[in-house]
Structures are given as C-alpha cells and as structure tokens.
Structure 1
Amino acid sequence: MFNWYVLNKLTYSSVSLSAPRVNVGIVNGREAKPHSRPYMVSVQTKEHHMCGGFLISDRFVMTAAHCRNNSPVLTVVLGAHDLRKKSENSVRFTVDSYHQHPDFTMESFHNDILLLKLEKKVQLNDNIKWISIPAKEGDIEAGSVCSIAGWGLLETNGKRSDHLMETNVTVMNNMECESKWGKDDFSTSQMMCVYGNGGSCDGDSGGPLVCGDTAVGVTSFGDPDLCNSLKLPEVYIKIAAYIPWIKKITGNVN
C-alpha cells in the first residue's frame, strides 16, 4: 500500500500508477449556493486549504486521517464560501486535540478518519451549522443519489477552486467497488464508493458524502491518475462503521 508521507513529497502527476490518489477537488461540478452547506469546513495548514471537513457538533470536526500526515498542526475555517474573502464572517479555529482512528496507518487507507476537537464551542448561525451523522450502523442502498462538495481541483492536475463547488453522485454496489479496487485496497465493511458525471479531486479529501440531510461518508481516495475515473471509483470511509468509536471520542454528538 502506498505511503501517504511519500505522496505529500511528490507532485500528483509523479505519483506511481499503483498508488491511490488523495482526493482534493470537485470535477464537472457547479458552484454551491453560498452558505447552503453551513457544515462545510476548510482544513488548513499555514492558512492554506489542504482538505475538506465537516462540523458534526459544536465542538468537533470530522475529516480524513491522511489530511494530517506531514502537517502536524491544522486550523479550520468555518462559515466560508470564497476562501479568499475575509469579509464573509468566516471564523478560524485552532484545534485543541487530534483524534485519529487508532487503526489508521500511513501504509493504507483503511480507517482513514480523524476527529478534530476545537479550542472552544462554535457559535452556530446561518452560515455555521453542524450536520447529522448516522445514528447506527448500516449501509446506504446502491443507486442512492447523494452529493459531495469541496474546494479541491477542478480537473486532474488543474487549478483549485476558491469557491465551494458541489456535484451529485450515485452510490455504487459495494461488491462492484471491491471488484474494481481489489480486496487489499477496498474494505466492504469500512468503505463505500460512488460514481457520476462529477466527482472528487485533489483537495476534497475529508469532505462529506451527504445523503439526504446526513453525512454518511468521508472523502478518502481515488484513481491515482484521473479525478472522477470510470475505472476506479472514488472511495469514502463509511461513517456508520465507526459510530461506537465516534461516540467514545465525542460523547453522544447531536
């Protein structure tokens, strides 16, 4: 399995063909209506966007564990739409503590989930709200139409978007996804994948897969060579598989 630390040292175009790619942007998407996804978080290092994330309570942000590799100190920006604008009442928070899943390792994408406890409680408003996560374990039915959003690249090796982008995606049958990725890379119990006209790209890692009003997945990895690949679909960590661990860290959120 490919080592994320090495990936952070390389340009995306130089990653070996066998290495799954860290997701970062929305391809073939549309600009989201400003603040229509008030749970969205920009996870940043040195005040530069690196990953997506989402607010699951007034104290915790969920993102992907690999987002912290090579970046031990993160801050989060809440309530943003255009990351260049300081005037839209977005708020930057420092992270009080990092809670990476204990079984996540740099060698694989399994258990690629991270909880960020913020320095203080978030003051919720029209632009900043948390999103529900599943209350119990269970799968999303294949064929369900869901959505993703992020500030990642607009095309493979392309430019990043300063504005939040979004697109609809369809949940793929888990056994079909396993057949495309293989059992070493894809875990049917921990992961799910989607397909569609649009999809994630570099910089969208850690953002939510949203079905209805619930965040059901965390953007994790995809084809190393092509964003929104038909051959290797985008993979998301299945939040429902981690409910006991999440509750242990956060208390009973929501």
Structure 2
Amino acid sequence: MTKILLLLPLAFYLVVVQASYINPKNLDPMPAIVNGYNAPNRPFYVKLSISNTWLCGGTIISTRYVLTAAHCVQSSTDVLVFVGDFTKPGDVNKEVIRGARVKVHEDYNGKVTTNDIALIELSTTVSVNNVLPLCDRSYSSNTIAVCGMGTTNPSNNQMPLVLQEVQLKERASCAMVWNGPKKQVCLGEVAKDSCFGDSGGPAYPMDQSSNPICLYGIVSYGSNTCNGDGVYTRVSAYHDWIQKNTQ
C-alpha cells in the first residue's frame, strides 16, 4: 500500500517548529484510516484529484504549496487540490484549486518507495490559517496522529463519510520488518493504521489539547492488510529540498 505528495513555488510562507526503507510487499497507491475516529478541524488537510480521479491526500505547508507523496503525482500534470473538503459528499464551502506545478523528488524510486515526497504549487494562495508548519529535525514524540479519507476496512474498501484520524506510535518492530532507512519512519498500533486512499496525507504530533503541532511525516506505504505497520516519509530529512524548491 502506498501514500502521496506534491509542491510549487511563489509567495512562500514556511514555518519550522523546533523540536525507515523496505522492499514493499504489495504497494498500493491509495491507503486509509483503520479503527480511527471522526477528526476535529484539520484545515491543513487536502484531498487530491489526479487526472479527474481522487487518489490521495496532502498537507498545506505554506500559502502556496502542498506537500504529498511522490507516488501520488509522479506521472500527472493535471492535479486539483480540494481545500476544506472533509466529507464524502463534499463540503459546500470547499475551495478547489488547480495545481500550477508539480515537483517530484529527483531521487524518488517507485520500486522500493524511497524519497517518496513531492510538492504541488498552487495556482492561487490559501489562508495562512490553513498552514501546518514543518517539524524541526530534532523533534520527537511518542504519539503521532494521521488523518485521511481513505478506506476504513481493507477487506471491503469501505470509505468514511467524514475525515478520519488515528493516533499511532513509532514502532521498532515495523522498522525491523521493513528494514527502513533514516529518511523514513514506521508508525503503527495494533489493528490501527493508515490504509488505501490515505497516501500523501499528514502525520503530526499533537499538544495536550489535541491541536496539531507540526508536520512529521507523509503517508507512504505498508501492508495491504493495513495491520498497523506503516511507513512514512520523514519530513525533517527533506528540509533543504523543500526550502530549495519553494523559493
């Protein structure tokens, strides 16, 4: 199972907050939230339509750019970004913005799903209130939340009516299973995971009031059973690349 991202340059507003590799078994470009709950307001989350088909999620990291997974947008020039759209029927107040440019990481490798990161430059700016800052390289947290609109049951591809969120922990066992590199992180919990349709979406630590703090990871790939072993692109490993491509 796989998860996605993209970004584009212009008036750049980017905040940085202080603060693993595998040979995938069954890669799937559309992972989702399993055994989560209805998410509170998450204005930084976006849905991505690739060539008129909704496939992935993404995160607003500046007033002009969205970060997502490379596998979501690697072969597409036609990307629509749905801002403020957190329900299956579609929110009436959503904003649909066309991607002006897609930048996939130069060293993205779809065979082993490394450097699974991309930027989407928006054709118009969004409010600074939608922006989730990037976690600093030194940031660490025991619990990381993930949100998405992907399937909630991998056996029947059941889709949620509203945006879902789940809280996960870094898993040493996952890193051992996937043999992951330093630019990725394994997150999971027993019977909890991101799944089909969640690719490219955000992973973030929260404060004591359950408010997201910063963008920690990007949903990338995992088991096709969505069993709690998920691999995420570690955003802090790509600060220089993001900065370079958003100026």
User: TM over 0.5: same fold?
Assistant: yes
Residues 49, 23 of structure 1: alpha-carbon distance in 2 compared, 3 angstrom cutoff? closer
Shift of 1:86: 4.5
Residue 232 of structure 2 aligns with which residue?
A: 236
Shift of 1:105: 2.5
* Runs of 4+ that moved beyond 4 A: none
Residue 32 of structure 2 aligns with which residue?
A: 25
How many correspondences in the alignment? Answer: 219
Residue 79 of structure 1 aligns with which residue?
A: 84
Bigger drift between 65-74 and 159-168 goes to 65-74
Residue 183 of structure 2 aligns with which residue?
A: 190
Measured against aligned partners, the alpha-carbon deviations of 1:147-203 in whole angstroms (never above 9, x if no partner) come to 111000011142222411111111223xx4332113xxx21x110011124210100
In the alignment, is the contact (CA less than 8 A) between 1:148 and 1:169 conserved in 2?
Answer: yes
In the alignment, is the contact (CA less than 8 A) between 1:3 and 1:108 conserved in 2?
Answer: no
SS at match of 1:201: coil
Structure 1 CA distance for aligned equivalents of residues 2 and 118 of structure 2: 17
Shift of 1:3: 11
SS at match of 2:174: helix
Structure 1 CA distance for aligned equivalents of residues 236 and 2 of structure 2: 26
Structure 1 CA distance for aligned equivalents of residues 36 and 241 of structure 2: 33
The amino acid of 1:115's aligned partner reads: L
In the alignment, is the contact (CA less than 8 A) between 2:217 and 2:234 conserved in 1?
Answer: yes
Residues 50-89 of structure 1 mapped to structure 2, 5 A cutoff: 50-87=55-92, 89=93
The amino acid of 1:102's aligned partner reads: E
Residues 81-160 of structure 1 mapped to structure 2, 5 A cutoff: 81-87=86-92, 89-124=93-128, 129-135=130-136, 137-138=137-138, 140-141=140-141, 144-157=142-155, 158-160=157-159
Structure 2 CA distance for aligned equivalents of residues 172 and 18 of structure 1: 18
Residues 199-210 of structure 1 mapped to structure 2, 5 A cutoff: 199-210=193-204
Shift of 1:205: 0.4
Bigger drift between 95-104 and 24-33 goes to 24-33
Shift of 1:49: 2.1
CA RMSD of aligned residues (A): 2.3
Structure 1: stretches of 5+ with no match in the other structure:
5-16
Residue 13 of structure 2 aligns with which residue?
A: none
The amino acid of 2:237's aligned partner reads: A
Calculate the TM-score normalised by the size of structure 2: 0.81
What's the % identity of the aligned pairs?
A: 27
Residues 154, 113 of structure 1: alpha-carbon distance in 2 compared, 3 angstrom cutoff? same
Structure 2: stretches of 5+ with no match in the other structure:
4-23, 207-212
Measured against aligned partners, the alpha-carbon deviations of 1:9-60 in whole angstroms (never above 9, x if no partner) come to xxxxxxxx93344452111111123xx1110000112444210101000000
Q: 2:241 aligns with which of 235, 238, 245?
A: 245
1:179 aligned onto 2:180 = no
In the alignment, is the contact (CA less than 8 A) between 1:29 and 1:166 conserved in 2?
Answer: yes
In the alignment, is the contact (CA less than 8 A) between 2:2 and 2:28 conserved in 1?
Answer: no
Residues 97, 114 of structure 1: alpha-carbon distance in 2 compared, 3 angstrom cutoff? same
Structure 2 CA distance for aligned equivalents of residues 38 and 86 of structure 1: 13
Structure 1 CA distance for aligned equivalents of residues 25 and 192 of structure 2: 23
Q: Which has the higher contact order (CA 8 A, sep 6+)?
A: 2
SS at match of 2:26: coil
Shift of 1:106: 2.6
Calculate the TM-score normalised by the size of structure 1: 0.79
